[in-house]
């Protein structure tokens, strides 16, 4: 039986862990190979330091982020090498991409990923399947000056698209991000497997 909520007008997908299978270890290994720094030292300098979180929340332009990345790991890093390392970690989830295409027949679809402006500028190279499917609705958290699970990032995305948060569903693999979407008034769904997502979307009449 369909859930008693306003009709969903916008289905929002997380990228890493939903639209793709993300492998941070593979990314770190590639970065290590091109910089000569160990994977552990790169992880500590970027992810454990809070630098990546600041970038996700919009603190740095793409150029500032890339320069800061190289400075923190203590080795030069070109944009092309950064993109190659990011892309090697991303295996498209073809089942979920197909489901998004099905939803698009009934509602709008969008992406909201905790990433910075360098990802925003390079979706074509990082994940070429996304731009033809999602068009201009490919969003990184940095655009909104906040990152998941802050409820404000979901509200700002809904405002950008002229809808009430209650008319959107957020599909994410992290429970805290789903909770943030719920707090903002959206319908949240934690992605754990394809069959569970398909059943949830059926229950709200999107497929």
Q: Where are the domains of the chain?
A: 10-22+92-203, 24-88
- Cα four-point dihedral sign 43, 44, 46, 50: positive
d(CA 33, CA 27): 10
Buried b (16+ CB within 10 A) or exposed e, 52-84: bebbbbbbbebeebbebbbebbebebeeebbbb
d(CA 83, CA 191): 26
pLDDT of 75: 98
pLDDT of 5: 64
Report the chain (207 residues): mean pLDDT per 10 consecutive residues.
Answer: 71 98 98 98 98 98 98 98 98 98 97 98 98 98 98 98 97 98 98 97 94
d(CA 187, CA 166): 7
pTM of the model: 0.95
pLDDT of 6: 73
pLDDT of 170: 98
CATH architecture classification, 24-88? Orthogonal Bundle (1.10)
Q: Which residues pair with 170 in a beta bridge?
A: 12, 188
Q: The tokens 């990011």 sit on which residue?
A: 86
Buried b (16+ CB within 10 A) or exposed e, 113-149: bbbbbbbbbbbeebbeebeebbeebbbbbbbbebbbb
CATH fold label, 10-22+92-203: Rossmann fold (3.40.50)
Phi, psi of 43 (to 5 degrees): -60, -45
């Amino acid at each position: 039986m369909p859930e008693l909520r306003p009709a969903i007008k916008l289905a929002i997908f997380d990228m890493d862990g939903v639209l793709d299978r993300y492998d941070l270890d593979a990314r770190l290994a590639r970065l290590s190979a091109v910089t000569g720094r160990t994977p552990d030292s790169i992880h500590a300098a970027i992810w454990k330091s809070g630098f990546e979180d600041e970038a996700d929340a919009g603190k740095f332009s793409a150029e500032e982020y890339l320069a800061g990345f190289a400075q923190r790991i203590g080795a030069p890093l070109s944009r092309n090498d950064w993109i190659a390392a990011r892309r090697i970690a991303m295996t498209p989830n073809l089942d979920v991409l197909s489901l998004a295409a099905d939803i698009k027949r009934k509602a709008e679809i969008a992406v909201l990923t905790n990433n910075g402006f360098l990802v925003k500028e390079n979706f074509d190279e990082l994940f070429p399947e996304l731009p033809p499917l999602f068009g201009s609705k490919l969003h990184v958290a940095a655009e909104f000056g906040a990152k998941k699970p802050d409820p404000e990032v979901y509200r700002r995305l809904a405002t950008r698209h002229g809808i009430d948060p209650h008319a959107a569903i957020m599909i994410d693999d992290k429970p805290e991000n789903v909770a943030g979407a719920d707090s903002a008034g959206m319908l949240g769904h934690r992605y754990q497997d394809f069959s569970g997502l398909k059943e949830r979307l059926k229950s709200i009449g999107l497929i």
